[in-house]
Amino acid sequence: MAVAIVTGSAGLIGSEASRYFADQGLDVVGVDNDLRSHFFGRDASTRWQRERLQQALGRRYRHESIDIRDEDGIDQLFRRFGNGIRLIIHTAAQPSHDWAARNPKMDFSVNATGTLNLLEASRKHCPSAAFVFTSTNKVYGDRPNRLPLIEQDERYEIQAGHEYEEGIPEDMSLDQSMHSLFGASKVAADILVQEYGRYFGLNTACFRGGCLTGPSHSGAQLHGFLSYLMKCTANRMPYTVFGYSGKQVRDNIHSADLIRAFDQFFKSPRSGEVYNIGGGRFSNCSMLEAIRICETTAQRTLNWSYSEENRAGDHIWWISDFSKFQRHYPEWQLEYDVARICQEIFEENHHRWSVASAA
């Protein structure tokens, strides 16, 4: 029996990974206790996604409502399956800048200590498994804001000819910048994942994502950029743009594209790797451009307002350079751009959103 353990299995990336690897013939054990509803409220609960997974995958999916901070619970789970565990995909996290500032200890315990629990259980019970960690570009703090950026009509752009014109690679320093407390807890987890690869020889990789998105996202005001923006547009809900005149740029990667990258690593794992991963130049937009795309897709006008105060540690411009990953895994290519992502989010969710808003 080949087992994949997926933490945060009812979330965006976790649910996509659960379906994908179940279809590949692995028995999936999903670990998710719906902390997202605690972080962001009932509307952000992932319960609907868990129920959908259980219905769709049947016996190929086993759900465990374990908190990753529960060291004994995680250890017992890994001991139960032992060397049958071939893959760990760790997506469970507290993902919000703003929420982390409200409760730094819980943020750190989920993001850093939870990751340590999983790494140690892997080392003890399934050391040959591939360990995939969904890190974040926030580990670089606000250092990208020191790049030579030029304000255009609807977006910021990096100065033409700059070495990062095609995107930011892994050689950008993590030091001497403001990360936000969320960024700091993810840095701690990121370094731990690298160290368990380099020091103990585990097959580990940190995927430092830009905006991870897709139709399975339970978007909320504090997290889930495109999903929440499309939800607000479709349901005529108010939306606030924070800072930078709405011209801040993000690259966006569809969860399906990301999971295919995880699969490439699973098939040919390495130790202690770090990859910047995102939509790159193929799939990116500013906040203003994203509003326009969502309005066109939903055929409705978004009710949005503007706040001058940007979020602490937020990026003005982020586009990932994922060329290192493509050098290691040349078969992988992106399939979804922003417009296609928004169309899919709308088509798969607008009915559920309208029913929920009417309840």
String of DSSP letters for 30-57: EE---HHHHHH-GGG--HHHHHHHHHHH
User: DSSP code of 210?
Assistant: S
What is d(CA 201, CA 243) in angstroms, rounded to the nearest whole number?
43
> Which residues neighbour 235 within 8 Å (Cβ) at sequence distance 6 or greater?
353, 354, 357
pTM for the structure as a whole: 0.93
CATH code, 3-358 = 3.40.50.720
Length of the chain (residues):
359
What pLDDT tens digit does each residue of the chain (359 aa) get? Answer: 899 999 999 998 999 999 999 999 999 999 999 988 888 888 778 888 899 999 999 999 999 999 999 999 999 999 999 999 999 999 999 988 788 899 999 999 999 999 999 999 999 999 999 999 999 999 999 999 999 999 999 999 999 999 999 999 999 999 999 988 999 999 999 999 999 999 999 999 999 998 999 987 766 675 668 999 999 999 999 999 999 999 999 999 999 999 999 999 999 999 999 999 999 999 999 999 999 999 999 999 999 999 998 876 689 999 999 999 999 999 999 999 999 999 999 999 888 877 655 55
| Residue closest to 265 by CA, chosen among 336, 214, 213, 324 | 324
